[in-house]
A and B are shown apart, each in its own frame.
Chain A
């Protein structure tokens, strides 16, 4: 177990490091001058040169990379050009909002999708199940920005019951959460349905039923329990993806999370900010994946981590 953990952590570190390097190179290859974006259209050549010197952009690429790595070891990711503050702090300030949205969205998804999937498995291939299936597919097929704008129009403009944008009170969380959850519903509910159909047709369920177990226990305890590993994998993967920034939904709702920060950082070519965002989100996403893998033995005692099956 400790050996497995060490190996996984090592791999994760390597992934984060390679991602950061890729991003470091990509942003510097991209056209667009951070100095010009920073100084505005009236800047003179001398101004631009001064700003480049200030940001350290006048040095050769390899030297910039060296400085970047050295600073990385001390936890210093540079100063954001547009916020004039340590880039890491700017990102960490925004992170709670993204985490809140991701947790709320994944919780709503799970609370709706799991019972729905169970219901679909028990009513497999009936007309009503087909209807539910088509409905979730429709939810998955709507572009999230469009769903967001539509919900906004209906619930914030036409019937002003919910705030339109930003995070001023908890009710501001409702619309973004629903928008994200609609997209995830189909995936999770169909996974639950598939796993549950297989489980409910297994011999052990027949045996348990013949011994007089209640249908409720059969469904929720035994069949759903045995679907735990793929279910947690899917939910964990989705959660990790959400942590990486629900860029579009955050932009639509003016949500002050990392997703909208990314868009702004890209527009202003804020290199340190882009790098800090990638570092934080990639680390979090990898941690979630790791936690999911560590949860397998709890859900299924047959799984032994670090050993071939």
Chain B
């Protein structure tokens, strides 16, 4: 365990003047040569608006540049910086240290995703399952002719799916899901919510083929409506709702 209590004496573009500081515990693990993960602790100053991602970047800048973390937009749009923060899956850029109400902030890689290194995880399976449910409009008339107009939708029709179109594929829902904790073959809440997004779209004609894909022994029926996915979603997608509405089609409650 490494203890670093002071800030290294180097030039920084963001001077740290805060008197408040937290202990940031970062999980370190390199599958290529480590047997298990270990935590490194850093004392990081913070302001009311400092996010966990900013704290991690401070560590990279001043203490240990080898900490692996994936990030991009820093505004909860790209879905890159999902991680376990104080035991719960959250976006590091969307979580302020001040709102955690703790002097110790522990960051770990997301559960149920293979670790690349430290806080960076592999997204291949999430993208594979996402692709599996055909995340695009399916129509018989795929070839548009030059005189054709766009597909019109009423605001009510848009309302049916727009919530689910907010998904940024951050993977937090898959990380929180109790079925994903043990079932490597489960499609997962992200993909199931996206299946509903397209099934509920009035322009789409691929309902039957999608329902067939998810009506599998590791498909939609392995969701038990625990709702953890919806509780951690940073974009208000509410995958649990989408999954139950989608299941309504298979149970004959919806057509």
* A and B bind: no
Interface residues in chain B, defined as those with a beta carbon under 8 Å from any beta carbon in chain A: none
Contact residues of A with B, CB < 8 Å? none
